[in-house]
Amino acid sequence: MTNVRYSEGARRAQRGLTLVEVLVAVALLAVLLVPAIHALHTGYVGAEAHANYSRNHYRLVSRLESVLSESYDSLEAAAAGPLVASNYSDTAGPTERVLVYVAAYDADNADGDDDPFTGTDLDMLWVRVAIDGSVQDLVSLTARP
């Protein structure tokens, strides 16, 4: 058997990490982990907001299609103006309830006042569905067939 002599550098490499090196590594990981966790949290919150927005959008589309499938006479009877929720709205109470507004509409602006709700045209209705307390809404026009 040969007697192998290790240099000082080789012996130091075989001993492993010192306590100081371990503490520096742990401190570095702790400092870098905070922004990484924050970035993940921001992504999670954004995904949750998008899911809520998408769910409400599909609720609005569904309600608008449902209201527009009603007869024109029923819609005309429910028309109370652009600021008064009609009987097609959800009942009071639930959060994020859907409100439906139906109003006569001035499509040709014959009166010249640029207000779409004065001097209304015959056989033209404006329909808006909105989430209560939100900026989400959809608007459509319908005419007597």
pLDDT in tens, 72-99: 999 999 999 999 999 999 988 767 899 9
- Give the pLDDT band of residue 108 (cuts 50, 70, 90): confident
Angle at 119 between CA 117 and CA 124, to 5 degrees: 65
Decide: 105 and 120 in contact? Cβ < 8 Å: yes
Per-residue b/e over 92-108, b at no fewer than 16 CB within 10 Å? Answer: eeeeebbbbbbbbbbee
List Cβ neighbours of 105 (8 Å cut-off, separation of 6 or more). Answer: 116, 117, 120, 121, 124, 125, 126, 141
How confident is the model at residue 18, as a pLDDT?
A: 86
| Percentage of the chain exceeding pLDDT 70 | 89
| Percentage of the chain exceeding pLDDT 90 | 52
Mean per-residue pLDDT, 24-31 = 91
DSSP category for residue 118: S
In 1-145, where do the E strands start and end? 98-104, 124-131, 137-143
- Give the pLDDT band of residue 14 (cuts 50, 70, 90): low
**Calpha distance 100→82 (Å, rounded):** 9
Task: Give 1 or 139, the one with higher predicted confidence.
Answer: 139
Three-state SS for 106? coil
